[in-house]
Amino acid sequence: MPLPYISLKNLCKRFGSLTANENVSLELYSGEVLALLGENGAGKTTLTKMLYGIYQPDDGEIFLAGSPVRFRSPADAIRGGVGFVSQHFSLVPSFTVAENIVLGREGAAILYKEALNNKVKQAAERFGLKLEPSALVRDLSVGEQQRVEILKALYRNCQLLILDEPTAVLTPQDVEKLFATLRHLQNQGLSVIIITHKLDEAMAISQRVAVLRLGKLVGVEATKKTSARELARLMVGRDTVPVTKNLEHDAEKTVALSAKNLTVKDKRGLTTLKEVSLELHKGEVLGIAGVAGNGQTELVDVLTGMREPESGSLSLNGKTLTLGNARAFEMAGVGRIPEDRLKGVVGDLSVAENLTLEHIPQFTQRGHLKTGAMTQEAERLISAFQIKAKATDKARTLSGGNIQKIILARTLSRNPSVVIAAQPTRGLDIGATTFVHEQLLAQKDRGAGVLLLSEDLDEILRLSDRILVMYGGSIVGNFLAHEANVETLGLVMAGSKHVSA
């Protein structure tokens, strides 16, 4: 057996009372792709950040080719041959591709743009990455930005490349391209750690899979000898059952929310939402798929009254809505599950205060808060929505899943006519995700129209009755859910026009 390129011995990392990693020991060999699998909060990112010198382990050791090393900063890790592509890209948007890549490794005091561009171009070609060195990073697509990040690591001669959730922001086609690149690099002798929580991706790209649960390594399996089912059980600690939707409500065709020709321009005058029209029926889940930044955020803002569009109109159950008046929208029966759930609660207010925040007039008497009634309402919602917290806890001390439950409870307990749910399960673990799915489907069964915006195609396909695809601020695809699949949706999401179901 050859010496592992890098090995971890009993690594521990604690944040206050929270143990993020406990006694993790792992080896990685040259030319091997290892998938690091685990639910959100399992400690995958923490582990890799210790490998890149961003965090210091509280206990345990790292060995590089057999000798112990200590990475006190990313600079140390780079010298040790480690490269890291974080989940949220660390690029300078106003710099060119070449500038981002050579930053910190310029090679000379004076920079000659031509020479730099050539050097970067050569490096890109050697590693089989398609990139234009003189392009500004802010003009690149997410997939291209990721290639810049990968080349940045390779340019520093990394022998081990760590990718943190690299597929989360990509279309299925871009995922394929990424995997092809990784296989190419692997053949050149590179070791790769790829973090993911998607089982099929782990199965597709890796030779071995390491599974983390609650900070501990619960299994390392050869990919060929395991199955997605087995890995799921390791990851969650029990068998999982995904939600199933009720197909009976598909027939109802009463329009709940109707949007006509909505157009939004951003501060720079660019059109971010172009003449978008849609109809959301009662008793259906309408999924909106798309790569982030194709107008979904603007659409949600308009549909929930958070933003006044340049033009267009909206009506709910036949009545016209006053655009840009969030309060009026809420009163009329538009329920909002915001994209950034941390903006949906006030962190320093208690759970009870957050649960009643949108309906404060009901809990007020002559300007005084009726705290008794607030607590009573909170207790009711806490038990109905299985929120794991006390009414007096501050919202910011809660986990993402419980914060999302507060928002669901506050919005759904009012029986809104339509629910606008933007990325409702982003960053949630499997248990909380299932809960959110059940709640959304319950709203549909109750007769509400549910608009589901998500970057997770599996989620869209599993919950929706109809699916619209957004690209470049327009709706470019319209599918019945049972006629759509990941491949066709992916093509339309990437802007390919000649696809129809």
Partner 1 sequence: MDFLFALLGATLRISTPILLAALGETLIERAGILNLGIEGTMVLSAFCGFVVAHLSGSLWLGLVAAILTGILLCSLMGLLSVTLNLNQHVAGLGITLLASGLALFSFRLVYGGSSTPPSLDHSFPQLAIFKGTVLEPLFSQYGITYVALLLVPLLGWLLQNTAFGLRLRSVGENPEAADIAGLNVYWVRYQALIVGGALMGLAGAFLSLAQLGAFTHGVVNGRGWVAIAIVIFGNWQPSKVLYGALLFGFLQALQLRLQAQGIPLPYEALLALPYIITIVILALAGRNASYPAALLKPYRREGA
Query: Using the rule CB under 8 A, is 405 a contact of partner 1?
Result: no
Tell which one of 100, 167, 296, 356 touches partner 1 (CB under 8 A).
Answer: 100
Using CB under 8 A, pick the residue from 44, 147, 156, 466 that binds partner 1. 156
Closest to partner 1 by CB, 163 vs 302, is 163
Q: Is 266 in the site for partner 1 (CB under 8 A)?
A: no
Q: Minimum distance between the CB of residue 99 and partner 1, rounded to whole angstroms? A: 6
**Distances from the Cα of 499 to the Cαs of 77, 332, 386, 469, in angstroms?**
45, 37, 43, 12
Q: Judging by beta carbons within 10 Å of its beta carbon (0-12, 13-18, 19+), is residue 181 exposed, middle or buried?
A: middle
Pick the closest to residue 154 from 87, 85, 235 (CA basis): 85
Cβ closest to partner 1, residue 2 vs residue 16: 16
Q: Which is nearer to partner 1, 75 or 442 (CB)?
A: 75
* Nearer to partner 1 (CB atom), residue 55 or residue 329: 55
Q: Which stretch binds partner 1 (CB under 8 A): 87-95, 118-126, 234-242, 249-257?
A: 87-95
109 binds partner 1 (CB under 8 A): yes
Q: What SS3 class is residue 491?
A: helix
**Are 427 and 401 a contacting pair, CB within 8 Å?**
no
Q: How many residues bind partner 1 (CB under 8 A)?
A: 33
Q: How far is the CB of 106 from partner 1 (least distance, A)?
A: 4
Residues 6+ apart with CB under 8 A from 96: 117, 133, 134, 135, 136, 137
Contact between 70 and partner 1 per CB under 8 A: no
Query: Which of 70, 113, 184, 497 forms a contact with partner 1 (CB under 8 A)?
Result: 113
* 19 counts as binding partner 1 under rule CB under 8 A: no
Contact 437/404 with Cβ under 8 angstroms? no
Q: Is 99 in the site for partner 1 (CB under 8 A)?
A: yes
Structural contact between residues 31 and 159, judged by C-beta atoms closer than 8 angstroms? no
Which amino acid would we find at residue 154? L
> Which residue, 138 or 184, is less far from partner 1 as judged by CB?
138
Specify the residue, 224 or 268, whose C-beta has the smaller distance to partner 1. Answer: 268
Residues 6+ apart with CB under 8 A from 176: none
CA torsion, ordered 478, 464, 295, 136, to nearest 10 deg: -100
- Give the three-class secondary structure for 277: strand
Contact status, residue 215 vs residue 222, Cβ threshold 8 Å: no
466 binds partner 1 (CB under 8 A): no
Counting contacts by CB under 8 A, is residue 78 touching partner 1? yes
Q: Does 106 engage in binding with partner 1 (CB under 8 A)?
A: yes
Binder to partner 1 among 3, 18, 103, 328 (CB under 8 A)? 103
Distance CA 369, CA 209 (A): 54
Report if residue 342 touches partner 1, rule: CB under 8 A: no
Taking the complex as a whole, the smallest distance from the CB of residue 56 to partner 1 amounts, in Å, to 8
Quick one: 104 or 347, whose CB is closer to partner 1?
A: 104
How distant, in Å, are the alpha carbons of 118, 137, 317, 334, 460 from that of 302? 45, 29, 17, 12, 21
Please pick, from the candidates 10, 25, 90, 188, the single residue that binds partner 1 as defined by CB under 8 A: 90
Q: Does 241 interact with partner 1 (rule: CB under 8 A)?
A: no
Residue 337 CB, shortest distance to partner 1, in Å, is 28
Task: Please select the residue that binds partner 1; options are 18, 111, 342, 442, rule is CB under 8 A.
Answer: 111
Q: Nearer Cβ to partner 1, position 99 or 165?
A: 99
Indicate whether 270 belongs to the interface with partner 1 (CB under 8 A).
no
Residue 256 is a binding residue for partner 1 (CB under 8 A): no
CA distance 145 to 271: 23
Q: Report which residue type is found at 159.
A: Q
* Binding of residue 59 to partner 1 (CB under 8 A): no
- Supply the minimum distance, in Å, between the C-beta of residue 50 and partner 1: 10
Hey, what's the torsion of the CAs at 183, 187, 191, 195, to 10 degrees? Answer: 10
Q: Considering the complex, what minimum distance in angstroms separates the CB of residue 54 from partner 1? A: 6
Alpha carbon 3 to its chain's center: 36
Helix ranges, 304-367 (H) = 326-332, 351-356
Whole-angstrom CA distances from 216 to 13, 31, 219, 245, 414 are 11, 25, 9, 34, 41
The answer to whether the CB of 102 falls within 8 A of the CB of 95 is: no
49 binds partner 1 (CB under 8 A): yes
Q: Is 54 in the site for partner 1 (CB under 8 A)?
A: yes
Shortest Cβ distance from residue 336 to partner 1 (Å)?
Answer: 29
Under the criterion CB under 8 A, does residue 147 sit at the interface with partner 1? no
With b for 16 or more beta-carbon neighbours within 10 A and e for fewer, the 419-439 pattern comes to: bbbbbbbbebbbebbbbbbeb
- DSSP, collapsed to helix, strand or coil, labels residue 237 as coil
Using rule CB under 8 A, residue 92 touches partner 1: yes
Select 55 or 363, whichever has its Cβ closest to partner 1. Answer: 55
Establish if 62 lies at the interface with partner 1 (CB under 8 A): no
Nearer to partner 1, 172 or 293 (CB): 293
Closest CA to 443 of 256, 195, 274: 256
Instruction: Give residues in contact with partner 1 (CB under 8 A).
Output: 15, 49, 52, 54-56, 73-75, 78, 84, 86, 90-95, 99-100, 102-106, 108-113, 152, 156
